[in-house]
Structure 1
Amino acid sequence: MTHSRRFAETRRRPVARVTDSANSQRPPSTIQPVTPFRTRASVSAGRLTAWLSRSAGLGKGAVIGGRITLALDPKALRRVGRDRTVVLVTGTNGKTTTALMITKALEALAEVAANSDGANMPDGVLAALAARPEAPYAVLEVDETYVPWVADQLNPAVLVLLNLSRDQLDRVGEVRSTERELRKAIGNHPETTIVANSDDILVASAATEAGKRIWVGTGRRWTGDSTACPRCDGLIDHVKDHWSCACGLARPEPAWTLDGDLVRTPGGRHVDLDLRLPGDANRANAAFALAAAHRLGVPPHTAAARLRTITDIGGRYRTIRRSRHSVRLMLAKNPAGWVETLRVLDEDTPVVVAVNAQEADGRDLSWLWDVHFERLRGRQVVVTGERCADLAVRLCYAEVAHWAEPDPVAAIDALPPGGVELVANYTAFRDLVGRLPGA
């Protein structure tokens, strides 16, 4: 069957659903309106472009394929996404992991379209939907700056807000501006259920505009953006796990809470996560995934069992063998992400840190000065990547002994035999995964 004929099909396969959740949602429509020829042709052109990109070794093709489709039909995203139950996942950290977890959970119900390759701008979102035209569900991670536009196109059933923290200024902008834009977008979609982080002040401020809210409490490790109120600029008062401002903005009481490896549900039951992914950050992501999946009809214990099958996220946390070394691959893109990554590094293992500054990373590297690299003191550290000189300067000020090797693979090979912890930002990680067999 050709792509065009398949895309024009009006009937979907029957959907098996879990029905023992009080929060289950009506099944997506089983009849899809005929898609306009312009959209079908644009999607086909995008797929062809993506195939050519992959064949030429230029990348996975998701972004360029979606870009071509949108250029040929600006309404393609709305048309390709209609009649689906859509979950959007956004935040500075954890989008890819949480989206994958929700996808795994919802696959207990039916087929799910997802941009699991991390292409989270409109081009990648469109490509993911076009690749699975018959999927009644879609779980899409979206860059926080594009959420307003994507939400207007797709009218999501659920929007998951993980956290908001400072990132690359040249690419993302000032984090409080992002909060204001999200707050406005949420107010424009009163029927969307917002699954929001009650411990993040900026997220809580944005989510208070929602007509339907589910609060999740997971604790906070990054507090660098939580000293002042986003509503009145007043000083935030922190008392143990709670925060509040004199203007009335305060930590909402969460319906879902993370306690170690357990998640407490709104009914007071406890679900044991027992994840195969390391660190508190991944357990927090799982709590959000359980809450979102439960909203759409997946019981928490069913969702948790499916989450335990995840061993890596697009190569992250995977351990590979390279000659004399056992290399664990990790991704860290901004200060909040580094807080979590530094906590899971093995203390006795050499560390290779790779940093690029391409368009997808953000060309502004001022965020390096917000990362507490001092935690690497006393370890064997190698800096690498296109901007290893910038990283070397930062480590000098952190009083971390290190040496530089611009080529990341050569940096690994130069270390003594044994384990290696390799931490890279976005494009450095992507390039390494392409170069290391088994990654």
Structure 2
Amino acid sequence: MSVRSPLRTRASVAAGRATAWLSRSAGLGRGGVIGGRVALALDPRALRRLGQERTVVLVTGTNGKTTTARMLTRALEALAEVAANSDGANMPDGVLAALAASPEAPYAVLEVDETYLPWVAEQLTPAVLVLLNLSRDQLDRVGEVRATERELRAAIASHPETTIVANCDDVLVTSAATGAKRPVWVAAGRRWTGDSTACPRCDGLVETAKDHWRCACGLARPEPTWILDGDLVRTPGGRHVDLDLRLPGDANRANAALALAAAHRVGVPPHTAAARLRTITDIGGRYRTIRRSRHHVRLMLAKNPAGWVETLRVLDEDTPVVVAVNAQEADGRDLSWLWDVHFERLRGRQVVVAGERGADLAVRLCYAEVAHWAEPDPVAAIDALPPGGVELVANYTAFRELVGRLPGG
């Protein structure tokens, strides 16, 4: 840690590191969250102090935070060491732990849960804030998405020195970012529109046409300076950058477009950043294909309706699917989101439901007229399928448990 840090901060971080080590040694977890929690309890100003004299980039939104932050980290590593919470611990505890783990890194790329973004931004005063998308999520923890949009709007307005890199195709994102003094608008597309048919400013109807949307109150799609077009990104200078990602799907291309714009703002040329993004093959085990006995299993994560839209699009049509759903605290206890997912797309496939709340999922699939059978243990569900490929989709804690159980996951 920098010698300029006060003794209290250094002591609190040391205590946090010791707690994290004990957590790892006891097999209770990676220790980042509990270590950060201890450090903040001992020094409430530790986050502000650890963020001083760094170029900080924050990434927030409902979906894609971990992926986009990983992309940005990989791009900025072309300049120097980067502090990052690459394990996905995106609440204040995890953010602090990431900064404490790399005290000399001149750059920090930190994904932040959208609920905590206003407080974290107040502590760190980011140079760049990347705003990906906003949609319904864990109602019992996060609340209504429009309330989140209002809180982000207020936070952005209070940081005029921060460059906001925002997806102008997302109505709620645009509403939150319109008041920014330094907006960088990226046309990254949107596939989930279930939360933006009505204007977040006046509740009027949002009229949508090809490559444009507007409301009668005046809120409308800004003119983008970065444009995603298939596998290409057009930069403000009119040049085209070929993404050629090794990660699948439109959502990851959208994440990459936003990452390129943010990296460029920090000082990494788009072609340099794109070349570095092509080296990413998985995100914490997501999209990785592993071998288990007679099966090749591709691991996918989906946590909310918008995320499921993207995941269902990239599933192989001829491959059996295991879907595992839990409802632990980190997932959200409220499973009403199951009814917003178009599981009808799974009709005609071989589908197995698993996880702690497999019965809830089974009811939803019955109404979707998707034939399926149940096996609570997702690993046993894989083993019961015929030899060959398997698509395994799980929500947060179910996915985390699977990564720990499957060799190579």
TM-score scaled by length of structure 1: 0.93
Q: Is residue 265 of structure 1 aligned with residue 235 of structure 2?
A: yes
Query: Secondary structure at 1:379's aligned position in 2?
Result: coil
Q: Which residue of the partner structure matches residue 167 of structure 2?
A: 197
Cα deviation, residue 308, structure 1:
0.4
- Of 46, 49, 53, which aligns to 1:76? 46
Cα deviation, residue 8, structure 1:
3.8
Q: Which residue of the partner structure matches residue 277 of structure 2?
A: 307
- Of 64, 71, 89, which aligns to 1:101? 71
- Of 126, 151, 169, which aligns to 1:156? 126
Q: Which residue of the partner structure matches residue 359 of structure 2?
A: 389
Query: Secondary structure at 2:352's aligned position in 1?
Result: strand
Cα deviation, residue 239, structure 1:
1.3
Q: Is the 8 A contact 2:167 2:189 kept in 1?
A: no
Q: Which residue of the partner structure matches residue 209 of structure 2?
A: 239
Cα deviation, residue 168, structure 1:
1.1
What amino acid is aligned across from residue 190 of structure 1 in structure 2? P
Superposed, 1:191-340 pairs within 5 Å as 191-340=161-310
Cα deviation, residue 346, structure 1:
0.3
Query: Secondary structure at 1:145's aligned position in 2?
Result: coil
Cα deviation, residue 226, structure 1:
1.2
Query: Secondary structure at 2:109's aligned position in 1?
Result: strand
Q: Which residue of the partner structure matches residue 350 of structure 1?
A: 320
Q: State the aligned residue count.
A: 409
CA distances 1:216-265 after superposition (whole Å, capped 9, x unpaired): 00221101011101011111111112100111000001100100000000
Q: Is residue 179 of structure 1 aligned with residue 153 of structure 2?
A: no
Q: Is the 8 A contact 2:321 2:349 kept in 1?
A: yes
Query: Secondary structure at 2:116's aligned position in 1?
Result: helix
Q: Is residue 146 of structure 1 aligned with residue 116 of structure 2?
A: yes
Q: Give unmatched runs, 5+ long, in structure 2.
A: none
Q: Is the 8 A contact 2:59 2:69 kept in 1?
A: yes
Cα deviation, residue 211, structure 1:
1.0
Q: Is the 8 A contact 2:2 2:103 kept in 1?
A: no
Q: Give unmatched runs, 5+ long, in structure 1.
A: 1-6, 10-33
Runs of 4+ in 1 over 3 A off after TM superposition: none
Query: Secondary structure at 2:390's aligned position in 1?
Result: strand
Query: Secondary structure at 1:298's aligned position in 2?
Result: coil
What amino acid is aligned across from residue 219 of structure 1 in structure 2? G
What is the CA–CA distance in structure 2 between the aligned matches of 1:8 and 1:283, rounded to whole Å?
37
Q: CA RMSD in A?
A: 0.6
What is the CA–CA distance in structure 1 between the aligned matches of 2:361 and 2:23, rounded to whole Å?
32
What is the CA–CA distance in structure 2 between the aligned matches of 1:219 and 1:90, rounded to whole Å?
17
What is the CA–CA distance in structure 2 between the aligned matches of 1:75 and 1:248, rounded to whole Å?
41
Query: Secondary structure at 2:192's aligned position in 1?
Result: coil
What is the CA–CA distance in structure 1 between the aligned matches of 2:382 and 2:41, rounded to whole Å?
42
Cα deviation, residue 68, structure 1:
0.7
TM-score scaled by length of structure 2: 0.99
Query: Secondary structure at 1:230's aligned position in 2?
Result: coil
Task: Provide closer, same or farther for how the CA distance between residues 426 and 111 of structure 1 changes in structure 2, counting only shifts above 3 A.
Answer: same
What is the CA–CA distance in structure 1 between the aligned matches of 2:34 and 2:247, rounded to whole Å?
31
CA distances 1:89-138 after superposition (whole Å, capped 9, x unpaired): 00000000000000000000000000000000000000000000000000
